[in-house]
Amino acid sequence: MDTTTVPQILDGNAIAAEIKTEVAADIERLHAQGIRSGLTVVMVGNHAASEIYVRNKVKTSAELGMNSELVTPPATVTTGELQALVSRLNVRDDVDGILIQTPLPAHVDKKLLDQAVAPEKDVDGFHPINVGLLQSGHPRLLPCTPAGIIEMLRRTGISIAGKHAVVVGRSDIVGKPMAMLLLHENATVTICHSKTKDLEGFCRTADILVAAIGKAGIITPQMVRPGAVLIDVGMNRITSQEDFARFFAGDAKREAAFKKNGSVLMGDFDPHAFALASYYTPVPGGVGPLTIAMLMANTVRAARLRRGLPVSK
Ligand code: NDP
């Protein structure tokens, strides 16, 4: 890898805008055939952080020309009641995609709900059938965040085949499907997690390093190989002056935001690590926008698949 070039920012907003333009055109094409694709988001109870994400998803799908619906059962709803709600959505012809926003209240069984969503409407790609299809190399509906990261690498012309990709994090939502997608793109893949011994050693051998941990700045410059591609999935809010000074001293724009809001958003990489990268995703404005764009793409894909219409690979 070239270690002398200036780090390039992978602009998630720009790539997401490109994907959304393509999705909107496809929605138009379907509309011309009398098909109006639709996304239903289920948000249980009141959760301030979720509300922002959910409104963004609902708003974006409406802007792109889809039927867009938000269902908001109270926090006291039972798993059984949610399963019944999902069953009703499963049989509605105007619903192509069903998304159940997390986090859910502790008494709700998320696994059962993931299984309740009809696999052909599972735009999150969490149903065991879709997980299995991904695993066996015949993906149908992919989890949005890792799918967006692959799309970003592809559209930027970053080659994956033969590279050593290290994924830190093994969640069902990000880490595991990310590793599987990179493997299908012919990377040599290592998965690390909280019990990994010598995390630094593994990370330092990565050509492509994906951090999906949820701990602010845990990936330090010493853990990064010069010239690596750094993908920061983490979304962490820091509130202490000490953390702010450690990560962002001298960053006037962030300092103004920190003073105004008492917090700033950052990823799992110590931002000083980005100086070593060939390419990196900023937080915010990197992976986040792609997740929503891929949700839109998945919903139209689901609309096509359900009707036996052609889809891209
Ligand atoms: P989870 O909490 O489900 O998984 C975190 C993973 O990180 C686990 O596998 C855990 O290991 C591992 N981990 C925790 N601490 C360490 C450590 N010290 N060293 C190495 N590995 C560690 O989180 P998610 O996968 O759901 O999300 C990860 C982050 O990505 C979060 O900040 C989340 O907000 C963000 N996110 C961002 C999205 C976006 O659109 N930008 C979308 C989805 C998530 P173990 O399994 O051993 O516990």
* Domains of the chain by start residue, with CATH: 34-119 (3.40.50.10860), 143-289 (3.40.50.720)
| Coil, strand or helix at 192 | strand
The backbone torsions φ and ψ at residue 279, rounded to the nearest 5 degrees and listed phi first, read: -135, 150
Give the integer Cα–Cα distance in Å for 67 and 97.
10
pLDDT in the model for residue 168: 99
Of all protein residues, whose CA lies closest to atom 3 belonging to ligand 1? Answer: 171
pLDDT, residue 53, reads 87
**Residue 205: per-residue pLDDT:** 98
> Catalytic annotation on 93?
no
Cα–Cα distance between 65 and 91 in angstroms, integer? 22
The residue ranges of DSSP E strands in the chain, in sequence order, are 8-9, 38-42, 67-71, 97-100, 164-168, 188-192, 208-211, 229-232, 236-238, 264-266, 279-280
What contacts 13, CB < 8 A, 6 or more positions away?
285, 289
Q: Which of 96, 122, 124, 270 is catalytic?
A: 124
In this prediction, the residues of the chain whose per-residue pLDDT falls under 50 are none
Runs of H (alpha helix) within 161-198: 175-184
Q: Could you tell me if the CB of 292 is within 6 A of ligand 1?
A: no
Identify which of 57, 99, 150, 174 to mutate to test ligand 1's pocket (most ligand atoms within 8 A of the CB): 174
Are 164 and 207 in contact by the 8 Å Cβ rule? The answer is yes
> What is the Cα–Cα distance from 141 to 147, expressed in whole angstroms?
9
> Which residues touch 233 (CB under 8 Å, ≥6 apart)?
145, 149, 169, 174, 178, 210, 211, 212, 267, 268, 287
Indicate if ligand 1 lies below 6 Å from the C-beta of 217.
Answer: no
Q: Does residue 47 have its Cβ closer than 6 Å to ligand 1? A: no
How far apart CA 158 and CA 76 sit, in angstroms, is 47
Hey, CA dihedral for 289, 34, 71, 98, is it positive or negative? Answer: negative
Give the pLDDT of residue 4. Answer: 60
Q: Is 245 left (phi over 0), alpha (psi -120 to 50) or beta?
A: alpha
The predicted pLDDT at position 137 comes to: 94
Catalytically annotated residue among 101, 121, 122, 270: 101
CA distance 112 to 157: 39
Does 115 participate in catalysis according to the annotation?
Answer: no
What pTM value is reported for the model? 0.96
